[in-house]
Chains A and B, each alone.
Chain A
Amino acid sequence: MNKNHFLFSLQNKTQLTFLEIVSLLTWIIFKLSLLASMMNKGSAEFIYAGF
């Protein structure tokens, strides 16, 4: 098994640095915002029309 992946090392961490916490929280908020948009058909259509 390949255990050198970023997420494997992240999941084994007991402490995160301030920068890691800020990055992860930003990433979580970004994902949740897009997820909330996808739950609404109108906004999802708007997002994918952009592509």
Chain B
Amino acid sequence: MILFINPTFWVIAIAVYILLLARFPGGIIFRFGLLNLVALTILLGWQITLGVLGFVVLVWSVINLITVIKAKQNVTGSALLSLGFFAVLFFLFLLHKLNLANAGFSVQLKQAAPWLPVETLLPFFATLSFSYIFVRCIDLINSCVWKKTPLVDPISLMGYLTPFHMLVAGPINVYEEHVQANEKPVEPITPTRSIIIINEITTGLFYKFVLAEGIRIYFYGFNGSILVDELIDSFVLIVYVFFDFAGYSKIARGMGILYGIPTPVNFNSPFLATSVTDFWTRWHMSMGQFVLRNLFIPIQLQLVRKVGVKWAPAASIISMIISFAFVGLWHRLSWTWFLWGVGMGGLMALEKFAQTFLISQGHSQSENFSITLSAIGRVYVFFVIILSTYFISNEVILI
């Protein structure tokens, strides 16, 4: 997060905007991709940027190959290649996550696999916040191979997979929206637009450096870190994480509007949610939408095809639990996060049943009933979130 109080970052951010206005040949996503490459070189150094470019070219080549094989109607070949691609990607994801969870992991890995360039690979992924690149790769392959969205050139693709303003903590942008940015007319800079963008960025900085840090300083002292011993600490932790994460997302969003590069909204008053399902459409929204697009809907469709429409509710529950188990493990590879994900998925499945039951009883039509349910719902969500934060608190990594 220190990146955002680094003057170099802001000089680069403004320079990228001015150079984007220059309208050199190519669409907006190509121009952004090229400038993003320069920005990453200045911010991370040429070695890391070259490594990123190599990774992006590799991903681009594999997806190109899969689409070519699929176009020739070689279903087995394209399925095997897709599976291989996922396996390699998942292997890299495992390395990254195990490294974050265990300080001695690099030494253990070096002993187990001396052929692997551990000293380069692990810090490389940690610097790039590979978890976000990993989910963007899944969105990319789903869009290009199954939804037949055109694959862009490697420079533009780099602007999608590793955009410098979304590098540290997302949000998870949508590949289809990124490609469509080329077709949208460039919005002129007006006083209104400028004020809206400055407001978004300054609100993000205010959330992170005044509110989040202020809360930490107030409860734990200037150099103190948040330690969860009691339930009140988990309340402080969740409020801190909200201002920290939402602050970062707002800065990225403001910069995205400035550049004309789709950068999704990530938070929408999550503490006003009336159910856990509602909460997950308001907190880290880009992750919720990613899960819906790439996991929940495809898994549910496959299950319903296999077991029939009669078992659709059961398929929905299983899909929900698998999807949120993934969300849990995406945060950290541990049993605690896995159980957290399964619990959240199960709770949402229960809510779906309760909603269906209440609608069948005709309760949803009563206005008083809806008001009461909303009030109870907010209290219920508050306790679920506090208790679930308490459950995972020892495994939350604050960046």
Residues of A within 8 A of B (CB): 1-2, 5, 7-8, 10-11, 13-16, 21, 24-25, 27-28, 31-32, 34-35, 38-39, 41, 44-45, 47-48, 51
Contact = CB atoms under 8 A, between A and B. Distances in A.
A24 B195 contact: yes
A35 B269 contact: no
A11 B269 CA distance: 16
Contacts of B282: 2
Contact of B210 (A7, A27, A35): A35
A5 B269 contact: yes
Given A5-B269, A34-B210, A48 B218 contact: yes
Interface in B100-159: none
Given A16-B192, A24-B199, A1 B269 contact: no
Nearest to B205: A35
A14 B187 CA distance: 10
B265 A31 contact: no
B213 interface: yes
Contacts of B202: 28, 31-32, 35
A2 B222 CA distance: 37
B189 interface: no
B259 to A, nearest CB: 15
B16 interface: no
Contact of B192 (A7, A14, A28, A51): A14
Contacts of B206: 31, 34-35
Contacts of A2: 268-269, 281-282
Interface string B204-229: 01100110011001100010000000
Contacts of A45: 222
Given A1-B268, A16-B195, A35-B202, 20 more contacts: A2-B268, A2-B269, A10-B199, A13-B196, A15-B192, A16-B192, A21-B195, A24-B195, A28-B202, A31-B203, A31-B205, A31-B210, A35-B205, A35-B206, A35-B209, A35-B210, A39-B5, A44-B222, A48-B218, A51-B218
Contacts of A32: 202
Q: Per DSSP, are chain B's interface residues mostly helix, strand or loop, or mixed?
A: helix
Interface of B: 5, 190-192, 195-196, 198-200, 202-203, 205-206, 209-210, 213-214, 217-218, 222, 257, 265, 268-269, 281-282, 285, 289
Contacts of A34: 206, 210
Given A8-B265, A35-B209, A41-B222, A1 B285 contact: yes
A13 B196 CA distance: 9
Contacts of B209: 35, 38-39
22 contacts: A1-B289, A2-B281, A8-B268, A10-B196, A11-B200, A14-B190, A15-B192, A16-B191, A16-B192, A25-B195, A28-B198, A28-B202, A31-B202, A31-B206, A32-B202, A35-B202, A35-B205, A35-B209, A35-B210, A38-B214, A41-B222, A48-B217
Nearest to B272: A2
Contacts of A27: 199
